[in-house]
Structure 1
């Protein structure tokens, strides 16, 4: 049974016999004296929904442009399906790109927008018609085939652009901030549609985004970038639960960060001495230093318990006063000030009506967490 469950997990990057569809080997891109991409090594596999995530200017779009053939590496090689892309122009690559603006032809109908690339390839009319109908059904726009872009919604235009990009059955689809123009509710709905379409077509998707929530939702793996370098490449759950640096922990989601001097205990746990009037924090440290070193403890607010009584079953507990409360509907975030001025956030699920909430502003409370709830980061 265990083998069947394990076999159903999609993780080709963990299979040494699986050949990547895309390989970046020592790829560097310079613009004059500025290094936009610095010695990137990365493999992306077939059927992956891969996300390049980072703030503006981190190099993610440059990396995508090189993959699409719109920019040339200064050093290193990029291969797609084993073929070196150095001298392959964009129109000869089995790659399509979907832009944030969608770039639809305003004078053409939905049907003709999707058919455009197929007509340029001079496919027989019956094959074009069959493929366009297949794509229209895939993105559920059969009732809008005769309309023009200005006659449909932003979410529908996004689906037209996606259908047009997939019509030529590329091995790889590049998506450059594809949902940036949509409002939050529509963006969330469209994320699940994208995942469903990617799974149905089996096309490898590579998405560029600065939206952490979007990357966490759609991607099989995420590459977090900073200043042209890959900081961490992992699955969303590992990026969130076991970040490899303070940068990743702080960039992905909400987090409490507490600096201190970490001393290994020899049992896989580390003691972080962080304030004179507080007990040391006991936590795991995957890359524990051999001696005492300056480190940072990171813990997500939802993993911090809050209550009026001091817990007796937790190693880690601190006392403070509620400084602020953010009510977000499904959850509430409590900002608690400790005796030394440190602010720590805790989150609780609102499974009771707000009128029955036990905690309020200025209440004295205890915060606590288990030894495995957070992580000590060396860098």
Structure 2
């Protein structure tokens, strides 16, 4: 049986769980969020991504009720949550510091919110057991936070946040304190837990890799505005601006002058360099300044001149970054432009036939480059 693709944002009949409607947030003369509108759907794992100071944490704090909206409104399940105090919202927030109680056991940390809600003892016991099982912490139930690892403490904070079954869980840089390997492992655990519980997760992060790994959709932000909201694949493969192309992953940006030609554009970019061609359905008008965004893994590198290539440039290897599974070659063209080409190291020993200062040819297909206006 074919699995249904989860894309509620493509279905006009689906009602969003969260709606930001023309939301502005000012701190004195400074505008942190600028007339922002956004829909987030039930069961989504949604990522707010951007550099420090772009407004992503402010958005999260307004959702949690720690900041008031200056203009506009935020709706949760169709209700304006502006007047609703933080403790009355069906929203929970997991902080980067985890904020666990050091004197309480793991069991009591998870039970804390349930006890405050005066739930019956057996209901608390059942729910804590369920959360311990979900986060694979059963054998640590009677330990204190200092007696377990950073990754386990992260899972305790998650279990405590989910114990009250919120409609929405907000995660503020939740994996920032973990080392890279543990962070990668925990990303998959988070995805698994989110899927099992069906809770809507909104995560704030400045780590592009993390957002691209965990999220169903990513909102790339800059200076209080949404630059692009889309699935990770579309943001990577079809960015709508140079900012997004440059912010997500590694990319070559070639600035040039585009002239409409057949099914795309001919792009001149430097004196003495060949005209490049890119297929696109985007219309830049008859001619004008444009940018080509090309991912390094889509650029082929060879010592010999390949035949029959549309986009073919020559340069010298300036630098080589060996990353184990990949090698990235930084190639300087005669114009001074540096283009990166990436190759997979599929053999046991990386090929050493290309080295520093070698003259090489770079090529890519007509569909490899994304044509952008700005």
TM over 0.5: yes
1:1-379 counterparts in 2 under 5 A? 5=2, 8-265=4-261, 267-354=262-349, 356-379=351-374
> How far did 1:359 drift?
1.0
Alpha-carbon displacement from aligned partner over 1:23-65 (angstroms, at most 9, x marks no partner): 0000000111110000111000000000000000000000110
Any gaps of 5 or more consecutive residues in structure 1?
none
Between 305-314 and 53-62, report the one with greater CA deviation.
305-314
Alpha-carbon displacement from aligned partner over 1:291-331 (angstroms, at most 9, x marks no partner): 22111111000000001122223210101111110000000
What is the DSSP-based 3-state SS (H/G/I as helix, E as strand, rest coil) of the residue aligned with 2:213? helix
Alpha-carbon displacement from aligned partner over 1:243-292 (angstroms, at most 9, x marks no partner): 00000000000000110111111x33111110121111111344321122
> How far did 1:354 drift?
3.4
**Aligned-partner Cα distance in 1 for 2:372–2:115:** 55
What is the DSSP-based 3-state SS (H/G/I as helix, E as strand, rest coil) of the residue aligned with 1:97? strand
8 Å contact from structure 2 (residues 171, 201) kept in 1 = yes
Moved over 4 A (4+): none
What is the DSSP-based 3-state SS (H/G/I as helix, E as strand, rest coil) of the residue aligned with 1:186? helix
**Aligned-partner Cα distance in 2 for 1:370–1:197:** 40
> How far did 1:355 drift?
5.6
**Aligned-partner Cα distance in 1 for 2:90–2:106:** 23
What is the DSSP-based 3-state SS (H/G/I as helix, E as strand, rest coil) of the residue aligned with 1:38? strand
Any gaps of 5 or more consecutive residues in structure 2?
none
8 Å contact from structure 1 (residues 114, 160) kept in 2 = yes
8 Å contact from structure 1 (residues 69, 90) kept in 2 = yes
8 Å contact from structure 1 (residues 52, 223) kept in 2 = yes
Q: Alignment length, in residue pairs?
A: 374
**Aligned-partner Cα distance in 1 for 2:200–2:324:** 36
8 Å contact from structure 2 (residues 280, 367) kept in 1 = no
**Aligned-partner Cα distance in 2 for 1:189–1:130:** 27
**Aligned-partner Cα distance in 1 for 2:326–2:163:** 42
What is the DSSP-based 3-state SS (H/G/I as helix, E as strand, rest coil) of the residue aligned with 1:354? coil
Between 268-277 and 60-69, report the one with greater CA deviation.
268-277
What is the DSSP-based 3-state SS (H/G/I as helix, E as strand, rest coil) of the residue aligned with 1:127? helix
